[in-house]
A and B are shown apart, each in its own frame.
Chain A
Amino acid sequence: MSGYPLLAVEDLTMHYQTRAGEVCAVDGVSLSLERGQSLGLVGESGCGKSSLALALLRLQPENAQILRGKVLLDGVDLVSLSEEEMRTYRWNRIAMVFQSAMNALDPVYRVGDQIIEALEQHSNAARQDMVDRVGELYKLVNLSPNFIQRYPHEYSGGMKQRAIIAMALACEPDLIIADEPTTALDVIVQDHILREFGNIRKELNMSMLYISHDMAVIAEVSDVVAVMYAGKIVEYGTAEEVFNKPIHPYTRALMSAFPSVTGEKHELATLGGEPPNPLDLPSGCHFHPRCPFATDMCAEQEPPTVRRGDHWADCWNPPED
């Protein structure tokens, strides 16, 4: 096929217009993701993860604006497509499992019909084929076919989650974006569904963008990790590199909040302080008010990119390799 990666985001920048001023929720983000790979996007709540996910599908709210940048899917820039063309990419090529999956099903329609609605939108198959497909999908995500004809309120939380995963898989998309898909569930159910979802995804050779604030979850599901802070990607690399040799102090702080990931104790204290006010971002490195390694330079100028192979981070004072 083509020499393009499946997904390449270049310098994507999105602002929210608010009464208090402009919020730069996605600030010059660049990423790339190969077919079949899984990218974990991690960062504290409010750092712009969901905004980035929505911008990829061009589903940002009305007060948001994509100022510049590209979202290349197989080399096609989604940002420059017409709304009509964009619709053919949604769900068919990029599907999404939402942050609050519990409410992502319309309460007045049967769940099976909602999946068929997505299929109808992107294929001309006969209705019976679509019904059969829903049956297959239910089997795939371990749901009883009896529930196809039921309404969302008749599902438990875990079942809704499975139904939504089934819906995301329906059109066999190239990329699934999962935005903190399991936060509303209890830990055991969450873990179970997560594993199953990961296996299905690998079997079908789909790529995934997995979003979470939880390093432990990211460690479990990602091949590649991107760490986000205040709208920017501050560190990027393979899961192995990022978890074994983190460069950015923010990444290290996030990891020390979850010592189980690497097993060893970290010298860093858990992350103190609050994420910055998006209306009034700190100068230089946005992380400097909370960073234990901050120097005067950090407050004055934006940090340079430190590269160690494909693994990189933006920091003035990276640890020795």
Chain B
Amino acid sequence: MARYLISRTLQILLTLFAFICIVYFIVNAQPGDISNVYAMNPELPPDARERLQSQFGLNEPLWKQFLVYVRNVFTGSFGVSFSFYPRTVADVIAERLPRTVALFFTATVFSFYLGFLLGKIIAWKRGGWTEYATTIGGVTLYTVFTPWFALMMIWLFAFKAGWFPIGKFLDPVLWRDAPIEANTLFGRMMLTALALSIIVFVVFVITTRLRIGGARLIQLGSIVVSIGIMLGAWRLTGHGHLAWDIVKHMVLPVFTLTLISFAGTMLLTRNSMLETMREDFVLAARAKGLPEKAVRDKHVARNALLPVVTSLVFSLAFAVDGGVIIESVFSWPGMGQTLVSAAVAEDLPLAVGAFVFVGIFVLLAHLAVDVIYVFLDPRIRY
């Protein structure tokens, strides 16, 4: 396993380097640079434009610029952003990336869970109206024009019902005199979520491994207790209402993303279930006298899960391009928005940087899925 991880890391670094080169040249192949933004400004004399270009090093030959960029990558700054001058690209991205990761990670977990659950159910009870309703509903949501659907969600739940805020990451009025930076707070929220999932995961692993009676109850109890402790701790910090504000802003985009993407997992799960149901070990499980629910969950669904997890990697690509749209509609200041605004502002370093970080994220997620797979399928050993 250690050897595998090392070789995979090297592989990822090589892929990443190739990716950086390609992205760099493609982004630079488009006409214009930061000075174009001022080109329409009649007050800007031509020599000022040239000065601007030479200041950013844009009059150098492209290969020289590229070498400078590579150096910047290795020093970790990824260059200076033109539109956020003098902040570095790494700095801008460090602020934006966690928001996107939080949004999409949560939505991916929800949509995977929902899709798998529904897929399992419709595969088991075939031919009923539930199957038709769920399939048609899911496929409709899956293929719907995303910006329109996102706007409808905002209109319905934020504007009409008023349950959620209309877009954005936080409520500026609430945060005007806040004693803490939004990003610092958000970082702590993410740490809390991470701690919570680790605790729950450990409890689940321990209770299933040890086969203690009433495992379900212990699991449920541990979830409730740890959530309670976390909430209490947040209250004590005095920043609870601020954190709650961010959570409220997250709900609608996560819900929307979940709705438009769960059907992919659902249909895959359904097919995978139908395939697995034909296996002999399923017949054997029935012959052993197991109740239908145990046959479905312990044997069919457990094996049907494997190809569905593999597909998770591919759905990540969907998450990235859907991200630009969803973030724009919800004014969510994450990577998608950063990418769009960098492109509009001809902020080439930031655009390249944003692509590169999306690339890093996808590669790491891919690695994570590979590692998870080792735990899911005993036949896979590295």
Query: A residues bordering B, Cβ < 8 Å?
Result: 57, 59, 87-92, 95-96, 98-100, 103-108, 117-118, 121-122, 127, 151, 153
Contact = CB atoms under 8 A, between A and B. Distances in A.
A87 B289 contact: yes
A91 B378 contact: no
B379 A107 contact: yes
Interface in B303-337: 303
Contacts of A98: 280, 283-284, 287
Nearest to A164: B284
B51 interface: no
Given A98-B280, A98-B284, A127-B211, A108 B377 contact: yes
For chain B, the bracket of interface size reads: 20 to 34
A106 B283 CA distance: 10
Given A106-B299, A151-B379, 15 more contacts: A87-B289, A87-B290, A90-B289, A91-B289, A98-B280, A105-B284, A106-B281, A106-B284, A107-B377, A108-B302, A108-B377, A117-B288, A117-B290, A122-B289, A153-B378
A91 B288 contact: yes
Contacts of B378: 107-108, 151, 153
A35 to B, nearest CB: 21
Interface string B263-295: 000000000000000011101111111110000
B178 interface: no
Contact of A104 (B284, B289, B302): B284
A106 B287 contact: no
Central interface residue in B287, B290, B299, by most chain A CB within 10 Å: B287
B284 A88 contact: no
Interface of B: 211, 279-281, 283-291, 298-299, 302-303, 376-379
A57 B379 CA distance: 31
B299 A121 contact: no
Contact of B288 (A107, A118, A127, A153): A118
Contacts of B281: 103-107
B45 to A, nearest CB: 72
Nearest to A113: B211
Contact of B280 (A91, A100, A153): A100
B289 A106 contact: no
Query: Which of B279, B283, B298 lies at the interface centre, i.e. has the most chain A CB atoms within 10 A of its CB?
Result: B283
Of the candidates A92, A99, A103, the one having the most CB atoms from chain B within 10 angstroms of its own CB is A103
Contacts of A88: 289
Contacts of A122: 289
Nearest to A88: B289
A98 B279 CA distance: 12
A89 B289 contact: yes
Most buried by A among B284, B288, B376, B378: B288
Contacts of B288: 90-91, 117-118, 121
Contact of A92 (B211, B289, B298, B379): B289
A122 B376 CA distance: 28
Nearest to B378: A151
B286 A59 contact: yes
Contacts of A100: 280
Contacts of A92: 289
A104 B281 CA distance: 4
Contacts of B298: 117
Given A104-B280, A127-B211, A57 B302 contact: no
Given A98-B280, A100-B280, A151-B379, A107 B303 contact: yes
Q: Which 10 A-B pairs have the closest CB atoms?
A: A90-B289, A103-B280, A106-B281, A104-B284, A151-B378, A87-B289, A118-B288, A91-B288, A104-B280, A91-B289
Nearest to A168: B287
17 contacts: A59-B283, A59-B286, A59-B287, A87-B290, A90-B288, A91-B289, A96-B287, A98-B283, A98-B284, A105-B284, A106-B303, A107-B303, A107-B377, A117-B288, A151-B378, A151-B379, A153-B378
